[in-house]
Structure 1
Amino acid sequence: MTTFIFDVLKDLQNNNENLSELTFVLPSKRAGLFLKHQLSKVAKKTIFSPKIISIEEFVEDLSLLKSISNTELLFEFYNTYVKLTNSNEADSFESFSKWAQILLQDFNEIDRYLIPQKNIFDYLSAIQDLNHWSLENNQTDFVKNYLSFWNKLINYYTQFTEQLINKKIGYQGLIYREAAKNLPSYIKNNPEKQHVFLGFNALNTSEITIIQELLKNNLAKTYWDIDSVFINNQKHDAALFTRQHKTNWSFFKNNPFNWITTNYSKEKNISVFGVPKNIGQAKYIGTLLNSLQKNNQSLQNTAVVLGDEDLLIPVLNSLPTTIEALNITMGFPLKSIPIASLFESLFHLHKTPSNILYYKDVITIISHQFIRPLLYVKDVDYATKIIETIDANNLVYLTTERLKQLATNCNDVIDLLFSNWNKSVDTALKNCNQLILHIKNFLDGNKASNLLSLEYLFRFNELFNELSRLNTAYHHIKDISTLYSVYKELLSSETLDFQGEPLQGLQIMGMLESRVLDFETVIISSVNEGILPSGKTNNSFIPFDVKIENNLPTYKEKDAVYTYHFYRLLQRAKNVYILYNTEADVLTGGEKSRFITQLELEEIHDINHQIIAPHVPIIKTTPNVIDKTPSIINELKTVAQKGLSPSSLTNYIRNPIDFYYQKVLKIKEHDNVEETVAANTLGTVVHNTLEDFYKPLVGTFISVERIKKLKTRIVKTVTHHFTDVYKEGDITKGKNLIIFEIAKRYVSNFLDLEIENLKAGNQIKIIAIEADNRVVIDIPELGFPVTITGKVDRVDECNGITRIIDYKTGRVEQSSVEIVDWEAITTDYSKYSKSFQVLTYAYMMQLSNKIQLPVEAGIISFKNLNKGFLKFSKKDKAGAYAKKDALITQETINNFSKELKQLILEICDPNIPFTEKEV
């Protein structure tokens, strides 16, 4: 396969041109590298390299202006805006930047296409006057200001461009306009200099003017790369611009139009693959490359062209490990590297000035991979210490002073991270720069293994130095919010360049970087509407009809540009793989591109069209099964001797694997910070409050007067226990205040129920509060003792009947403490866990001779207090109206103990593994 560049060089050589004396002008710098490479294949002897430059470099030389970044351009424009706008009407820099970007783009287009500035701005102003009835006398201030803005556009433009020219700087459009203006003097000073323009397609008016003038003066040659299939079809957008040049340029009336080729019609293998989602495309690119290698096809002349450049990272992660040489023309986005998330977190924390720090923000920052090592001093991990303190004390908000107390040897780092920036841009930039130096000093300790991290850091150091320079030079950044906006603007445009040999191995590039280049095998991704082509976008103050009137490009011309690039990639290629996303997405592209449909309708090539679905293996979910090894049995013996509680036994009933994790492996759930009081915390507070109230009453009959006295202590006691359990969590506002009030109401309602029962003539004697129980039960089959432990919330005597009471702050219904079949009590957790719990308490107390049967046992539900004491009862199998027996007799205990022992035997049986249940 011969390339377009090779053909051009060969033609020049055949015409006896001295290649060393030519100036080659190409659409991109990258094309220049390939041209240098091809030179060695054409030149038969050693020659001096010709001058090879991009069109941007050529035009910049002509204009005598230097291009500056979009961000700095914005600062320069704001100088002009402030000078021409009343101070009380001027937008802040942050607000200004949101619309000024669009206006600068319009300035750029107007200049690139050499549109008379005053005419178009006057025209725009007149349109707005008509739209807003400017002749009306009763215009609002808003309308006046709006029309004033449009009337000032010509002044903004004039002052701004004069200001830039005086500083010898400019934006692209201004550079092009000045270049066209300076062309006569350039021709005069370089009467013999020969230029070769190759591979161009869509040219703006400035470029057309420059190239035509050079052609007229015999100082240039042009080489177009267009196929006859496109240029001969008047409706084919791939040749939209070349047809215009061929028809409209006077030079081509008497001179040949080089070249119209016939490469596109040659035989090609074109495959179109519909793949679901972007990641699916990335993975399939890896599959295609792997397949090419297995077929012994070299990737030396292969290109992966990404329609959506956001696919770069997924594609890199999907490449086969067998690829040795790789060249990536796109930079790695700076916003995607790890340290970007650190500064994102810092700006998030400091955008709103405050002396208190939200714990999640603190944890996010101190846990960051670049910060955590800075907090490890003298063998103390201060990051872990801070996190543990936050968890242990339930700290939702902290201060910098508190953090310094916890990390005593890291005060300088804590200051840089968490000291209030106080709306000071200088402080923010200084802190960020100092933080970068701290991280660098740490990484320098092991430079060899931290080279990549140091490269990341260096680029961020450059970025913050640029922010400092802009802030010093222009003084437009007044607050942290504006600084963050400028930071994001710079970050989005900065990339970290990959290192590699540009002419070797697989090429991964964006669509625009493929200009002038030819490859034998091409893989193009994201060929969807909204991406290729990008479709209608209207980021402009200039209406569509005004653009048409002034020959400014619209979305139609932009689509034609991408049509040309797409078909140019196919012209000389032999193997073409086109991928599109089958899942239409409003944000990232819609249905398959019209380019694919056009390829199919042309019927020039046979298109192999397939829909690719990822292979999703059927994974049978098998429950986790843990066999009981001798070491596990030994641990179970220890657990049994130490004590099994009713909650641990019901935990086994619910899911044996959870019992294994908690009791055998001793795995505990991490106690997260409770921003909102958790249900178990509320329960603990209510339990502890009632324990405080009733403990002094053990052994006595309670009275209405005593209970009324307890009611006066509710606020103080509940507050005390919230402080004890909820630690330093705030209960003075928000949901927590509501939960605090609920706790008081629960206790108050319970005491009211107690008073109501007493007034009804019931005699209640408190026997025990929070009674500890520990009994050993004999199970001969085991051969070792088993201990059952548990705390009973309350044991009392009501009208001569002993009651075992368990408090529940959640809602419990009577049906939750009723059973029909004894066998089900150790198998059905959802129905019988509460019955199991209260019966265990009764069983323990009967074994330890603390109660005499018969007794009642049950639950008081604070969310269902109007139902009173919910007694355990055994129901017949006769249905809803079956007879219930609420008294716990020896028979009841015997039936329960039998099931309990069976459960413990199962837990300790070496032949029954811990098997996970579906919960």
Structure 2
Amino acid sequence: MTTFIFDVLKDLQNSGENLSESTFILPSKRAGVFLKHQLSKVVKQTIFSPNIISIEEFVEDLSELKNITNTELLFEFYNTYIKLTKNNEADSFESFSKWAQILLQDFNEIDRYLRPQKNIFDYLSAIQDLNHWSLENNKTEFVKNYLSFWNKLHNYYTLFTEQLINKKIGYQGLIYREAVNNLEAYIQNNPEKQHVFLGFNALNTSEETIIQKLLENNLAKTYWDIDAVFINNQKHDAALFTRQHKNNWAFFKNKPFNWITTNYSKEKNISIFGIPKNIGQAKYIGTLLNNLQKDNQSLQNTAVVLGDENLLIPVLNSLPPAIEALNITMGFPLKSIPIASLFESLFHLHKFPSNTFYYKDVINIVSHQFIRPLFYINEVDVATKIIETIDANNLVYLTAERLKQLADNSNHVIDLLFSNWNQSVNNALKNCSQLIVLIKNYLDNKKTSNLLSLEYLFRFNELFNELSRLNAAYHHIKDVSTLYSVYKELLSSETLDFQGEPLQGLQVMGMLESRVLDFETVIISSVNEGILPSGKTNNSFIPFDVKIENNLPTYKEKDAVYTYHFYRLLQRAKNVYILYNTEADILTGGEKSRFITQLELEGIHNIDHQIIAPQVPVIETSLNTVKKTNSVLSELKKVAQKGFSPSSLTNYIRNPIDFYYQKILKIKEHDNVEETVAANTLGTVVHNTLEDFYKPLVGTFISVKIIKELKTKIVKTVTHHFTDVYKEGDITKGKNLIIFEIAKRYVSNFLDLEIDDLKAGNQIKIMAIEANNNVSVDIPELDFPVIITGKVDRVDEYNGVTRIVDYKTGKVEQNNVEIIDWESITTDYSKYSKSFQVLTYAYMMHVSNQIQLPVEAGIISFKNLCKGFLKFSKKDKAGAYAKKDALITQETLDHFYKELKHLVLEICNPNIPFIEKEI
């Protein structure tokens, strides 16, 4: 396969051109590297290398202006804006930057296409006046300011461009306009200089003017890369621009148009793959490359062209390990580098002034991979200490001073991260720079290689140096929020460039980097509508009809640019693989590109079109099973001797594997910060409050007077226990205040229930509060003792009948404490866990001789207080009738003991593993 560049060089050589004296002008710098490489294949003798430059470099030299970044342009434009706008009417720099970006793009477009600026700006002003209240006699101040803005557009442009030209700087469009102005002088000063323009397609008016003028003065040759299939089809957008050049340029009326080729019609292997999701495309690119290597195809002349450049990292991670040589044209966006998330978090924390920091933001920063090592001092992990203290004390908001108290010897790091910003732009920039130095010093001291991390830091150090320079030069950044906006603007345009040999191995590039280059095998990804081509976008103040009127490019011309690039990739290629996303990802994907449909309808090539589905293995879900090894049995014996609690036994009934995790492996749930008071915290506060109230009353009959006295202490006692349990969590506002009030209401309602009982003539004697029980269960089948342990909320005597009472802050109904079959009490957690719990309490207190049978046992539900004491009962069914037995007798406990023994034997049986239950 011969490339376009090779053919151009060969033609120039055959026509006797002195290649050393020629200036080659190409669409991109990258194409220049390939031209130099091809030059060595054409020229068989030693020569001086010709001047090879991109069109941007050529025009910049011609204009005598230096191109500056888009961010610096914004600062320069703001200088113009505030000069022409009254102080009380001027937007802040942050607000200005949001609309100024669009206006700068319009300035750029108008200049590149050499349109008369005043006409367009006057046109826009007239449109706005017509659209907005032109007939209104009494315009509001807002309307006047709005129309005044549109009337000033030409003044903005004029003063702005004058300032830039005086400073010898400019944006692309201004540089092009000035280059055209300087063209005559350039031609007079270089009457013998030869220029070769090759591989161009869509030219703006400035470029057309420059090239045509050089052609007319015999100072240039131009080579187009277009196929006859495209240029002869008047409706084919791949040749939209070259047809215009061929038909409209006076030079080509009597001069040849180089070249119209016939490469596209040659036989090609074109395969189209519809693949679900972007990651699916990345993985399949790896599969394609692997298959090419297996077929002994060299990847030396292979290119992976990414329609969506966000696929770069997934594609790199999907490449076969056998690929040794790789050249990546596009840079890795700085915003995707791990350290970017650190500065994103810091700006998020400080862009709005506050004396306190949200705990999740603090944890996010101190646990960041680049920050956490800075807190590791004298073998103490200070970051872990901070996080654990936040969790343990429910610290939802923290001050910098509190963080310093927690950080011990890491106060300098705390200052950089939290203390010294104070909405000061200089402080923010200084802190970020010092933080980078601090991280660098840590990485320098590490023994392992951290070259990539140091490269990250270097690029971000450059970025913050640029921010400091802009801030010092222009003084437009007034607060951290504005600084963040400028930082994001810079970050979005900066990349970390890959180093590699550009002429070796597999080429990975974006669509624009493929200009002028030819490859034998091409893999193109993301060929979807909205990506290739991008379709309708309207990021401009200039309406569509005004663009048409003034010959400015619209979305149609922009789509035609990508049409050309797409088809040009296919022209000389032999093997083409086109991938598209079959699934809708947010706003893109799902619809294949019109390019694919056009390929299929052309009928020139045989196309293999497949829908590819990933090979998803069928993974049969199996319940987790843990065998009882000797070590597990040994740990079980320790648990049995220490004591099974009713909650641990019901936990086993619910799911044996959870029992294994908690009791054998001793795995506890992480104690997270409770921003909102949790249900178990509310329950603990209510239980502890009632314990404080009733503990002093053990052994006495309670009276209405005593209970009314307790009601006066509700606020103080509930507050005390919230402070004790909820630590430093805030209960003074929001949901927590509501839950605090609910806790007080629960206690108050319970005491009202007691008063109603007493007024009804019932006698209540408190026998025990939070009674500890620790009893041995006689199980002859086991050779080790088994203990049952637990704490009973309350035992009282109600009109002579002993009651065992368990408090529940959740809702419990009467049927939750009733059983039909004894066998079900140890198998059905959802129905019988409450019955199992209260019977365990009754069994323990009877065995320890704390109560005499018969007794009642049950639950008081704070969410169902109107139902009073919900008694355990055994329910027998006989036809349509049911008989309830609410008294717990020896017979009841004998039945329960039998089931309890069966449950303990199952837990301790070495032949019955812990088997996970489906929940």
* Partners of 2:773 and 2:396 in 1: CA distance: 37
Partner residue of 1:225? 225
* Partners of 2:132 and 2:752 in 1: CA distance: 71
In the alignment, does 2:629 pair up with 1:629?
A: yes
Q: 1:553 and 1:861, CA in 2 relative to 1: closer, same or farther beyond 3 A? A: same
In the alignment, does 2:667 pair up with 1:686?
A: no
In the alignment, does 2:482 pair up with 1:482?
A: yes
* Partners of 1:683 and 1:711 in 2: CA distance: 18
Following TM superposition, by how much is the alpha carbon of 1:286 offset from its aligned partner in structure 2, in angstroms?
1.0
In the alignment, does 2:502 pair up with 1:509?
A: no
Is the 1:350–1:420 contact (alpha carbons within 8 Å) kept by the matching residues of 2?
no
* Partners of 2:266 and 2:728 in 1: CA distance: 77
Following TM superposition, by how much is the alpha carbon of 1:395 offset from its aligned partner in structure 2, in angstroms?
1.2
- Helix, strand or coil for the counterpart of 2:610? strand
After superposition, give the CA deviation of every residue in 1:711-740 in whole Å (9 maximum; x if it has no partner).
001011111111111111111111111111
Q: 1:879 and 1:724, CA in 2 relative to 1: closer, same or farther beyond 3 A? A: farther
Is the 2:582–2:589 contact (alpha carbons within 8 Å) kept by the matching residues of 1?
no
Partner residue of 1:818? 818
Partner residue of 1:100? 100
Partner residue of 1:563? 563
TM-score, normalised relative to structure 1 = 0.99
In the alignment, does 2:845 pair up with 1:831?
A: no
Partner residue of 2:263? 263
Is the 2:277–2:585 contact (alpha carbons within 8 Å) kept by the matching residues of 1?
no
Is the 1:304–1:508 contact (alpha carbons within 8 Å) kept by the matching residues of 2?
yes
* Partners of 2:589 and 2:92 in 1: CA distance: 35
Is the 1:273–1:610 contact (alpha carbons within 8 Å) kept by the matching residues of 2?
yes
Partner residue of 1:572? 572
| Letter aligned with residue 711 of structure 1 | K
Partner residue of 2:175? 175
* Partners of 1:281 and 1:547 in 2: CA distance: 37
* Partners of 1:270 and 1:645 in 2: CA distance: 70
Following TM superposition, by how much is the alpha carbon of 1:334 offset from its aligned partner in structure 2, in angstroms?
0.2
- Helix, strand or coil for the counterpart of 1:792? strand
Is the 1:32–1:53 contact (alpha carbons within 8 Å) kept by the matching residues of 2?
yes
* Partners of 1:228 and 1:27 in 2: CA distance: 22
Following TM superposition, by how much is the alpha carbon of 1:130 offset from its aligned partner in structure 2, in angstroms?
2.2
Following TM superposition, by how much is the alpha carbon of 1:137 offset from its aligned partner in structure 2, in angstroms?
2.1
Give every structure 1 segment of 4 or more consecutive aligned residues whose post-TM-superposition deviation is greater than 4 Å.
Answer: none
Following TM superposition, by how much is the alpha carbon of 1:505 offset from its aligned partner in structure 2, in angstroms?
0.7
* Partners of 1:357 and 1:585 in 2: CA distance: 35
Partner residue of 1:582? 582
* Partners of 2:191 and 2:609 in 1: CA distance: 55
Is the 1:331–1:498 contact (alpha carbons within 8 Å) kept by the matching residues of 2?
yes
- Helix, strand or coil for the counterpart of 1:558? helix
Is the 1:353–1:420 contact (alpha carbons within 8 Å) kept by the matching residues of 2?
no
| Letter aligned with residue 647 of structure 2 | S
Partner residue of 1:907? 907
* Partners of 2:115 and 2:679 in 1: CA distance: 70
After superposition, give the CA deviation of every residue in 1:483-525 in whole Å (9 maximum; x if it has no partner).
1100000001100001111111111110000000000010111
Partner residue of 1:785? 785
* Partners of 1:832 and 1:779 in 2: CA distance: 23
Partner residue of 1:412? 412
| Letter aligned with residue 502 of structure 1 | P
Partner residue of 2:620? 620
Q: 1:313 and 1:678, CA in 2 relative to 1: closer, same or farther beyond 3 A? A: same
* Partners of 1:99 and 1:831 in 2: CA distance: 64
After superposition, give the CA deviation of every residue in 1:321-368 in whole Å (9 maximum; x if it has no partner).
111111110100100011001001101111121111211111110000
Partner residue of 1:127? 127
Following TM superposition, by how much is the alpha carbon of 1:442 offset from its aligned partner in structure 2, in angstroms?
0.8
* Partners of 1:556 and 1:355 in 2: CA distance: 52
Q: 1:348 and 1:369, CA in 2 relative to 1: closer, same or farther beyond 3 A? A: same
Is the 2:420–2:427 contact (alpha carbons within 8 Å) kept by the matching residues of 1?
no
- Helix, strand or coil for the counterpart of 1:789? strand
Following TM superposition, by how much is the alpha carbon of 1:396 offset from its aligned partner in structure 2, in angstroms?
1.2
Partner residue of 1:247? 247
Partner residue of 1:354? 354
* Partners of 1:610 and 1:174 in 2: CA distance: 48
Q: 1:917 and 1:618, CA in 2 relative to 1: closer, same or farther beyond 3 A? A: same
Partner residue of 1:853? 853
Of all paired residues, the percent bearing the same amino acid is 87
* Partners of 1:126 and 1:414 in 2: CA distance: 56
Following TM superposition, by how much is the alpha carbon of 1:277 offset from its aligned partner in structure 2, in angstroms?
1.1
Moved more, 876-885 or 908-917: 876-885
* Partners of 2:262 and 2:357 in 1: CA distance: 68
- Helix, strand or coil for the counterpart of 2:675? coil
| Letter aligned with residue 177 of structure 2 | R
Following TM superposition, by how much is the alpha carbon of 1:253 offset from its aligned partner in structure 2, in angstroms?
1.2
Partner residue of 2:865? 865
* Partners of 1:855 and 1:617 in 2: CA distance: 59
* Partners of 1:584 and 1:601 in 2: CA distance: 24
* Partners of 2:340 and 2:701 in 1: CA distance: 68
Is the 1:264–1:570 contact (alpha carbons within 8 Å) kept by the matching residues of 2?
yes
Following TM superposition, by how much is the alpha carbon of 1:159 offset from its aligned partner in structure 2, in angstroms?
0.3
Partner residue of 1:764? 764
In the alignment, does 2:193 pair up with 1:193?
A: yes
Following TM superposition, by how much is the alpha carbon of 1:224 offset from its aligned partner in structure 2, in angstroms?
0.2
- Helix, strand or coil for the counterpart of 1:877? strand
Partner residue of 2:656? 656
TM-score, normalised relative to structure 2 = 0.99
Partner residue of 1:755? 755
In the alignment, does 2:654 pair up with 1:668?
A: no
* Partners of 1:814 and 1:787 in 2: CA distance: 30
Q: 1:447 and 1:119, CA in 2 relative to 1: closer, same or farther beyond 3 A? A: farther
| Letter aligned with residue 146 of structure 1 | Y
* Partners of 1:705 and 1:120 in 2: CA distance: 90
Partner residue of 2:18? 18
After superposition, give the CA deviation of every residue in 1:648-689 in whole Å (9 maximum; x if it has no partner).
000000000000011011111110011111100100000000
Is the 1:825–1:832 contact (alpha carbons within 8 Å) kept by the matching residues of 2?
yes
* Partners of 2:876 and 2:262 in 1: CA distance: 93
Moved more, 891-900 or 114-123: 114-123
* Partners of 1:384 and 1:586 in 2: CA distance: 38
Partner residue of 1:492? 492
Partner residue of 1:797? 797
Following TM superposition, by how much is the alpha carbon of 1:391 offset from its aligned partner in structure 2, in angstroms?
1.5
In the alignment, does 2:445 pair up with 1:445?
A: yes
Q: 1:880 and 1:740, CA in 2 relative to 1: closer, same or farther beyond 3 A? A: farther
Partner residue of 2:321? 321
Is the 1:523–1:576 contact (alpha carbons within 8 Å) kept by the matching residues of 2?
yes
* Partners of 1:306 and 1:716 in 2: CA distance: 67
- Helix, strand or coil for the counterpart of 1:523? strand
Partner residue of 2:40? 40
Partner residue of 1:213? 213
* Partners of 1:177 and 1:593 in 2: CA distance: 36
Following TM superposition, by how much is the alpha carbon of 1:131 offset from its aligned partner in structure 2, in angstroms?
2.1
| Letter aligned with residue 223 of structure 1 | Y
Moved more, 354-363 or 465-474: 354-363
Is the 2:797–2:803 contact (alpha carbons within 8 Å) kept by the matching residues of 1?
yes
Q: Within 5 Å, give how 1:426-441 maps onto structure 2.
A: 426-441=426-441
Q: 1:304 and 1:451, CA in 2 relative to 1: closer, same or farther beyond 3 A? A: same
After superposition, give the CA deviation of every residue in 1:431-486 in whole Å (9 maximum; x if it has no partner).
11111111111111137611111110011111111111111101111111111100
- Helix, strand or coil for the counterpart of 1:770? strand
Following TM superposition, by how much is the alpha carbon of 1:590 offset from its aligned partner in structure 2, in angstroms?
5.0
Following TM superposition, by how much is the alpha carbon of 1:272 offset from its aligned partner in structure 2, in angstroms?
0.6
- Helix, strand or coil for the counterpart of 1:863? coil
* Partners of 1:777 and 1:39 in 2: CA distance: 95
Q: What RMSD over aligned residues (CA atoms) do the two structures have, in Å? A: 1.0
Following TM superposition, by how much is the alpha carbon of 1:148 offset from its aligned partner in structure 2, in angstroms?
1.1
| Letter aligned with residue 63 of structure 1 | S
Is the 2:818–2:874 contact (alpha carbons within 8 Å) kept by the matching residues of 1?
yes
* Partners of 2:898 and 2:125 in 1: CA distance: 94
